[in-house]
Amino acid sequence: MPTSSSAASETGRSAAPRGRGRLRQAGRLVLALGCGLLVATNPFQPSTENPEATARGYLRFKEVLSYVDRDYADSVDTEALADYAVQQMLEKLDPHSVYIPARDREKTDSFLQSDFDGVGIEFNLFRDTMTVVAPLSGGPAEQAGVQPGDQILSLGGKRVSGARLSTARLTELLRGPSGSSVSIELRRYRLARPLNLTIARSRIPNASVDIAYLVDDQTGYIKVSRFASNTYDEFKTALVNLRHQGLTRLVLDLRGNPGGYLDRATRLADEFIAGSRKIVYTDGKGEQYDVQTYARVAGEFEEGALVVLVDEGSASAAEVVAGALQDHDRAILVGRRTFGKGLVQQPIALKDGGELRLTIARYYTPAGRSIQKPYGANYAEYNQELTGRSARGELASADSTHFAKELRFRTDHGRTVYGGGGIMPDVFVPRDTLAHSSYFTNLLSHGVARAFALSFYQAHKAELEGLRFEQYNATFRISDAQLVSLAAQASLAGITTNVGAVRRCAPLLRNQLKAYIARSAYGPLAYYTVLREQDPELQRALHLVSDSTAQLALLGK
């Protein structure tokens, strides 16, 4: 599911994560900046190598800031100036060393938390109307009777419908300390009067394993959206459950995964890698930052066909997993070259409550490949690197990706792989141009497609409840007239109607709408089952994972 302001939950993540990640380009870099942390006891000590220069620089900055504060013609916010100066200084170092002010730490850290305090609602924001996509299973909202399609008019006595509030602000209003209550006014389809509920907040799981299920009797699919505090436990539970159901081959989806905690990622990789082989190592300025991580447990799935899906949104810890599995010829990688974030950040708590995440080392795969892509002094250019890949045709053709011969490495079985930035998959699948077309992405980012699906679900709820999902999936189809209606709704949201674009995107739109409706009517598994039909990367992976001859050829066995 794309990350967008139109489809969100109290986690601040998108409501129903998707494998294709069509709208995540802007958000991926931001998340990658804060992820891939080397979590350990902070060993930071002031440098003794150049204390005089450090002292001169400190005094210079202090003196200038003092003059500005005292004598500048207008009033200034000196704290904001100091924050800006620190950010500019860090950008001179590398793209991933960052300073996080105290006011932003909770929001930044929540991405890697395994739970949060709230009421448990996924919502869509369309034309300034907050609509429930689904109450989270077992959460307070579901227990209070909140239903998909309910429109939220007010939260805690504050009007939110038509109030032009951001998704972040709406999320803040939903969340709060466990045990506290929030009043919610709802408008429900075909009810004349609004409903007024008071819901007590509680601890809500913030899953990072989005879905895990058997595609057929032997083939499993697991989607990991990030490496948060509870990711390994979630993954291990899912994998064990699928093994008990008969799993003998697996597709692991790391597309759009921006990283997270390194130790969770290496423990996940250890489930696939036998013996005591190396998973990753880091190389830093001092020996205290040089760490080598090896497989150390008897994993749950050390044998059996394994395909890993990656794309340009797979970063940091996700690249560590992909690189280790590729170097040891344990998995076939399918998709496109990964992001290329191979710098390790040390979180350093500051006295003012802020945090410095300072690059202290680089990640290397077992074969010795550096994951980090090149960067220079031009921070803006680095931010546009993914756009540059598209312009060079790299997202459309594997031949457009060029690697330096001196960065050639060998896997355990002698296959050639390359360093120099990101992990290149074994099987390239071009990016779906229609899925990334401006018209289609606007429909999703403005919440139009989801709003249309929720309205349809509300109007046909009784009919849908009378169908088993298998019947729905086999017979349901979005009509041409409904696509015309969708385009009309889009025009109301300021998206110019484009008949040609609608026609080109029709198969994708029909599938997306069908999936959204299935999500409301039958749950997340139905959503992913429908999406699978229009997912070329996943279809390719499913074909490979069941073709033993192709696997052996690709892995050089």
The pLDDT value recorded for residue 97 is: 94
Least confident of 104-108, 187-191, 500-504, 536-540: 104-108
Helices (H), 213-342: 231-244, 262-270, 317-327
CA distances from 406 to 136, 237, 320 (A): 51, 42, 21
Q: Is 522 exposed, middle or buried (0-12, 13-18, 19+ CB in 10 A)?
A: buried
CB distance 122 to 133 below 8 Å: yes
pLDDT score at 498? 78
Mean pLDDT of 477-486: 95
Angle ∠(128,29,436) on CA atoms, nearest 5: 65
Q: Once rounded to an integer, what is the mean pLDDT over residues 26-35? A: 46
Given a contact cutoff of 8 angstroms between Cβ atoms, the answer to whether 310 and 334 are in contact is yes
In this predicted structure, what is the pLDDT of residue 18?
A: 44
Q: What is the pLDDT confidence band of residue 39, given thresholds at 50, 70 and 90?
A: very low
Kindly tell me if the per-residue pLDDT of 13 is higher than 60. no
CA–CA separation, 4 and 26 (whole Å): 10
The residues that are catalytic are 316, 327, 341
Count, residues in the chain: 557
Do 315 and 259 contact (CB within 8 A), yes or no? yes
Residue-level pLDDT at 104: 86
Q: How confident is the model at residue 403 (pLDDT cuts 50, 70, 90)?
A: confident
d(CA 7, CA 2): 8
Residue 16 pLDDT exceeds 50 = no
Residue 232: pLDDT over 80: yes
Q: What is the pLDDT of residue 54?
A: 85
pLDDT of 50 reads: 78
Q: Going by C-beta distance under 8 Å and a sequence separation of 6 or more, which residues neighbour residue 144?
A: 119, 197, 199
Reported pTM: 0.89
Per-residue model confidence (pLDDT) at position 378: 78
CA 416 to chain centre: 29
The number of helices, as runs of H, and strands, as runs of E, in the chain is 20, 22
Of 58 and 536, the structure prediction assigns the larger pLDDT to 536
Q: 98-100 and 151-155 as β-strands: parallel, antiparallel, unpaired?
A: unpaired
Minimum mean pLDDT range among 15-29, 99-113, 297-311? 15-29
Residue 110 — pLDDT band, cuts 50, 70, 90?
Answer: confident
Res. 370: pLDDT tops 90: yes
pLDDT for the residue numbered 222: 98
Q: What angle do CA 211, 303, 231 make, to 5 degrees?
A: 30
Residue 233 confidence (pLDDT): 97
What percent of the chain clears pLDDT 70, i.e. is strictly above it?
A: 91
Would you say residue 32 has pLDDT above 60?
A: no
Strand ranges, E, within 325-483: 332-335, 343-349, 355-364, 408-410, 416-418, 427-428
Q: Residue 310: which H helix or E strand, with range?
A: strand 305-310
Range 323-337 average pLDDT: 98
* Cα 192 to Cα 460: distance, rounded to the nearest angstrom: 18
Handedness of CA 521, 526, 528, 531 (dihedral sign): negative
- How confident is the model at residue 65, as a pLDDT? 94
> 115: phi > 0 → left, psi -120 to 50 → alpha, else beta; which?
beta
Q: Is the pLDDT of residue 144 over 90?
A: yes
Over residues 431-453, the mean pLDDT reads 92
Task: Give 3-state DSSP helix, strand, coil % of the chain, rounded to 5.
Answer: 40, 20, 40
pLDDT of 399: 87
Q: Are 395 and 389 in contact (CB under 8 A)?
A: yes
b/e code 50-86 from CB counts within 10 Å (16+ = b): eeeeeeeeeeeeeeeeeeeeeeeeeeeeeeeeebeeb
- The predicted structure's pLDDT at residue 5: 38
Q: Which amino acid is at 477?
A: R
pLDDT in the model for residue 7? 54
Residue 465 has pLDDT above 50, yes or no: yes
To the nearest whole number, what is the mean pLDDT of the chain? 89
pLDDT tens column, 504-523: 999 999 999 999 999 999 99
Residue 327 has pLDDT above 70, yes or no: yes
Averaged over 483-501, what is the pLDDT? 88
| Region class of 368: left (phi > 0), else alpha (psi between -120 and 50), else beta | left
Higher per-residue confidence, 97 vs 105: 97
Q: How far apart are CA 333 and CA 208, in angstroms?
A: 21
Tokens of 165: 């509030």
105 exposure class (CB count in 10 Å sphere: 0-12, 13-18, 19+): middle
pLDDT at 42 over 80: no
Q: Which tokens sit at 200?
A: 């007590």
**From 10-14, 425-429, 437-441, 464-468, the region with the lowest mean pLDDT:** 10-14
Mean pLDDT of 480-504: 89
Q: Tokens in use for 485?
A: 């209606």
Q: What is the pLDDT of residue 47?
A: 63
Output the six-digit token pair for 219: 């083939």
Q: Is the pLDDT score of 139 beyond 80? A: yes
- What CA–CA distance (Å, rounded) separates 33 from 486? 36
What is the pLDDT at residue 342? 95
pLDDT of residue 135: 92
**Lowest mean pLDDT: which of 69-83, 110-124, 331-345, 526-540?**
110-124
DSSP 375-388: --S-HHHHHTHHHH
Which residues on adjacent β-strands are paired with residue 227? 260
What local confidence, expressed as pLDDT, does residue 112 receive?
82
Phi, psi of 75 (to 5 degrees): -70, 140
How many other CB atoms are found less than 10 A from the CB of residue 347? 18
pLDDT value at residue 15: 45
Answer positive or negative: Cα dihedral of 186, 189, 193, 195: negative
The per-residue pLDDT for 115 is 86
The type of residue at 12 is G
